[in-house]
Amino acid sequence: MLKPQILLAAICISVAAMAQTYPFQDKSLSPEQRADDLISRLTLEEKTALTLNASEAIPRLGIKAYDWWNEALHGVGRNGSATTFPMPIAMAASFDDALVEAVFTAVSDEARVKHRIADEAGPIARYQGLTFWTPNINIFRDPRWGRGMETYGEDPYLMGQMGMAVVRGLQGPDDSPVRKLFACAKHYAVHSGPETERHRFDARPTRRDLYETYLPAFKDLVTKAGVEQVMTAYNRFEGQPCSANDYLIDTVLRGKWNYKGVIVSDCWAVADFYIKGRHEYVETKAEAAALAVKYGVDVECGHAYQAIPEAIKAGLLTEAELDRNLKRVIIARIRLGEMDSVDPWADLPESIVEGPDNKALAQFVAEKSIVLLQNKGILPLAPDVPVALIGPNADDTTMQWGNYSPIPKETITLLAALKDRQKELKYVKGCGHLDAAEPFDGVLAALDGVETVVFASGITPFLEGEQGDAGGFPGFEGGDRTVIELPQVQRDLIAALHEAGKKIILVNFSGSAMALEKEAACCDAIIQAWYPGQMGGLAIANILYGDCNPSGKLPLTFYASTGQLPDFSDYSMKDRTYRFFTGKPQWVFGYGQSYTTFKIGRVHVKGGNVVVKVRNTGKFDGDEVVQLYISRKKDKDGPIRTLRAYKRVFVPAGETVTVEIPLTEETFLWWSEKDQDMVPTHGRYVLQVGSSSAKEDLRCRRYRF
């Protein structure tokens, strides 16, 4: 143990060092100048520490500890209580960019408050920083993928629009000298299952599929929204790991798109380079670290970068290459105000975290995201109609939260919401997600005297999700699904209820498309509720009783059966998603019913805009989502049709509104063999405007661009 006088002397030296002013602490200098000065003062070991997601403090220079790893998929995640919004796949069903931006503005407000509290308490630990690893903008190409619920669906355009809204909400104004937060476009690139193969899979899409489907959302976030982080994926691309890939990083991201921000690896992805049974791309940790640094991965989530000094000593890497990356890391921390303890949002009160305004927003978003798939006249329910509630998801709070979630203080389940509507509500769980809870005879007996049954069906994030977090049951594998139908016990109970003469309102909870072909035949109504967040039960009840009119639209295809799906591991887009699927799905992308009816008039082009009239021909006020698709008949390898714009409009009952959608060069981005990219392409197109992607729901007009 040090003698008291020696310890005191050491403390005095440390305090004196911290009191000294260095150029990197001068806020009048540019972040670039400050970063250069700081790098010149760091040892190799200190430089290495700053490239790890869990960056240790450097007391002699007054640099605080910082952890880059934070989550905000649909609320400030994994850091105690916070407002829990619906999962991204649900928010995508709103087809409302402004609403999504409002959600993530609320999330960033709560994030700043929680960061301030953590910073005052001590060193910043995991899930307390200002660098959030969201949104997930990988294309949901196959409904079996467990993490698809984290995304905004199967369409590249919708994904890009929603992703940019997330970035705007999280990062705040572009012209602010201090960024509110950093968002992150992940996982770059060509990453959407199977989860069990992600650490060794080699994705080899065609160049057309790459640029037409897998890259557009990333390009949007980088070149238009100014996303500050990009996370590399676990898998390989054309033989090289995505975290050491010259085409994806050098040619496209840093080259074509001129990306200047931070690149971060997915967690322990760099270790996949050398771990046996994974990529086995190199043999040692030092080789893996050297490759990732050389290819411009600035921050590693994991421990492989601990071998950077060894890699430099062995001549595998130069310190100049490390400094190039480190400069981006330091600039980022300066721009967040983190290194200067500057917080323009310091006045945000703690009361906003899961406060009444944000919970009301969570409920509103859930209402806008719920999709009415089928209604044989039973909905909306009259207040005096007795109903019974049954099913495994009727009273499951954690199911409603989804994954990467906060832990809200309050969650309103469907059971709680319906009990407020009917004090004598009959509730029987009936069955679990996969197994029977009790004999069906007993269930039917308990429901005696009630004609209308609300069945809360579906699965949970404990069955579908990320590798290691879910799966392992019949019909599920490693987080993914192997079949997309409802679990058999639920199908059997629904059939038994139908045979007993019950009117069934199916409320399905899932983060992915379900095949409900048989259920559609025996249910009087079907609602897709997704994982609707903490206020989800109240939102569903409001839909069931007509307090709000359903207006959500499917952001992905609901296939009729598992048999309609191609090989899960095949990354070709042939016969995948509404853009290329040639079969007959159960419900198409963009589909969703209302309690009213809409008529979309003829398509006109005036002054560079598509112009249509939308008339509400029913008895309820409601929202319609007007969708613009384009196609080129001569392109036999191209999409059947592809979304290029959408607009949500409110139309009072009996009234008509005029909708204008601008036609721009980006409307006519099309694959060019010559350019090997998507470019504005002149020629003949078919403009298709309607309420879904189904041919029968679209009004068409030929157009030459």
What CATH number is given to the structural domain containing 142?
Answer: 3.20.20.300
Do 661 and 556 lie in a common domain?
Answer: no
In 10 A of CB 512, how many CB atoms? 23
Query: What are the two backbone dihedrals, phi and then psi, of residue 281, each rounded to the nearest 5 degrees?
Result: -80, -35
The whole-number pLDDT of residue 664 equals: 97
Query: Please, which residues bridge with residue 679 across strands?
Result: 670
Contacts of 438 (CB under 8 A, 6+ apart): 429, 430, 431
Q: What would the pLDDT profile of 610-633 be if each residue is shown by its tens digit?
A: 999 999 999 999 999 999 999 998
Q: Which of 630 and 634 is assigned the larger pLDDT?
A: 630
Within 133-241, residue ranges assigned H as helices are 156-171, 207-209, 216-223
pLDDT over threshold 80, residue 18: no
pLDDT of the residue at 176: 87
- Residues 115 and 228 both lie in one domain: yes
Cite the beta strand spans of 243-380 per DSSP E.
Answer: 262-265, 371-375
Does residue 435 have a pLDDT over 70?
yes
Query: In the structure encoding, which two tokens stand for residue 260, read together?
Result: 């200047």
Q: Whole-angstrom Cα distance, residue 602 to residue 606?
A: 13
- Domain check: are 333 and 403 in the same one? no
d(CA 663, CA 665): 7
Give every strand in the sheet of 684-690, ordered side by side. Answer: 642-651, 622-631, 684-690, 698-704
Q: Which residues pair with 672 in a beta bridge?
A: 677
pLDDT tens for each residue of 184-193: 999 999 999 9
* 522-525 contacts, C-beta under 8 A, 24 or more apart: 522/494, 522/495, 522/498, 523/374, 523/455, 523/494, 523/498, 524/375, 524/376, 524/377, 524/378, 525/372, 525/374, 525/375, 525/376, 525/378, 525/379
Determine if the pTM surpasses 0.95: yes
- Is the Cβ–Cβ distance between 430 and 391 less than 8 Å? yes
Residue 454 β-bridge partners? 389, 505
pLDDT at 260 over 60: yes
Alpha-carbon span 326 to 316, nearest angstrom:
17
Question: Per the domain annotation, does 399 fall within a domain?
Answer: yes
Range of the domain at 192: 4-342
Claim to verify: residue 547 and residue 454 sit in the same structural domain:
yes
What six digits make up the tokens of 164? 């940019």
Interhelix angle 536-544/414-421, rounded to 10 degrees, is 50
Across residues 396-405, what is the average pLDDT?
A: 98
Same domain, 165 and 286: yes
Judge if 572 and 607 occupy the same domain. Answer: no
To the nearest whole number, what is the mean pLDDT of the chain?
96
Judge contact between 232 and 265, C-beta under 8 A. yes
Q: What is the pLDDT of residue 658?
A: 98
| 404 assigned to some structural domain | yes
Q: Does residue 507 sit in the same domain as residue 548?
A: yes
Residues above pLDDT 90, as percent of the chain: 95
Neighbours of 235 (CB within 10 A): 25
What pLDDT score was predicted for residue 5?
Answer: 47
Tokens representing 605? 């082009």
Q: Which of 342, 370, 402 is the last residue of a domain?
A: 342
What would the two tokens of residue 198 be? 């992600």
409 occurs within a structural domain: yes
Cα 541 off chain centre by: 25
Tell me, what CATH number does 672's domain have?
2.60.40.10
DSSP H helical segments within 172-318, as ranges? 207-209, 216-223, 285-294, 308-313
Tokens of 246: 């010259």
228 belongs to the catalytic site: no
- State the alpha helices, DSSP H only, in 438-531: 440-446, 488-499, 517-522
Domain match, 535 and 670 both:
no
Backbone angles phi, psi at 653, to 5 degrees: -55, 130
User: How many other CB atoms are there within 10 angstroms of residue 183's CB atom?
Assistant: 30
CB of 651 within 8 A of CB of 690?
A: no
Residue 288 and residue 274 in contact, taking contact as beta carbons nearer than 8 Å: yes
Does residue 469 sit in the same domain as residue 558? yes
By residue count, the chain amounts to 705
Q: Which range (2-16, 512-526, 558-572) has the least confidence? A: 2-16
Question: Which domain-ending residue is among 315, 342, 369?
Answer: 342
pLDDT score of 19: 60
pLDDT at 57 over 80: yes
Residues 6+ apart with CB under 8 A from 11: none
Single out the catalytic residue among 266, 287, 477, 480: 266
Where among 520, 549, 580 does a domain terminate?
A: 580
Which residues have CB under 8 Å from 83's CB, separation 6+? 75, 76, 106, 107, 110, 353, 354, 355, 358, 359, 361, 362, 406, 408, 534
Residue 20 has pLDDT above 90, yes or no: no
Residue 393 is part of a domain; what is its CATH number? 3.40.50.1700
DSSP bridge pairs for 661: 610
pLDDT in tens, 222-236: 999 999 999 999 999
Share of the chain above pLDDT 70, in %: 97
334 conformational bin, left if phi > 0, alpha if psi -120 to 50, beta if neither: alpha
Q: Give the largest Cα separation in the chain, rounded.
A: 88
Examine residue 125 and state whether it is found in any structural domain, yes or no: yes
Q: How much is the pLDDT for 488?
A: 97
- Mean pLDDT over 120-140 rounds to 97
393 and 277 inside one domain: no
Average of per-residue pLDDT across 104-114 = 98
Q: How far apart are CA 316 and CA 288, in angstroms?
A: 10
With respect to residue 683, please indicate whether it lies within any of the assigned structural domains: yes
Tens digit of pLDDT for each residue in 300-319?
999 999 999 999 999 999 99
266 is a catalytic site residue: yes
Place of tokens 């392409």: 681
C-alpha to C-alpha distance for 668 and 432, rounded to whole angstroms: 49
Q: What is the pLDDT of residues 637-651, one digit of tens each?
A: 999 999 999 999 999
Is residue 136 domain-resident?
yes
With a cut of 90, say whether residue 471 has pLDDT above it. Answer: no
**Catalytic residue among 343, 464, 480, 624, which?**
464
Contact call for residues 270 and 286 (beta carbons, < 8 A): no
Strand partners of residue 120: none
Helix/strand/coil for 355: coil
Residue 680, helix vs strand vs coil: strand
Structural tokens at position 397: 């709070």
- Type of residue at 76: V
Q: Are residues 332 and 437 in the same domain?
A: no
Count of structural domains within the chain: 3
Q: Is the pLDDT of residue 15 over 90?
A: no
Quick one: tokens of 357?
């305004």
Full strand arrangement of the beta sheet holding 236-237? 202-203, 236-237, 240-241
Residues 368, 94 contacting (CB under 8 angstroms) = yes
Establish if 589 belongs to a structural domain. no
What pLDDT score was predicted for residue 469?
87
Asked if the structure places residue 349 within a domain, the reply is no
The torsion angle over the Cα atoms of residues 489, 495, 499 and 505, rounded to 10 degrees, is 110
Q: Contact 625/99 with Cβ under 8 angstroms?
A: no
Residues 335 and 374 in one domain: no
pLDDT, mean of residues 283-295: 98
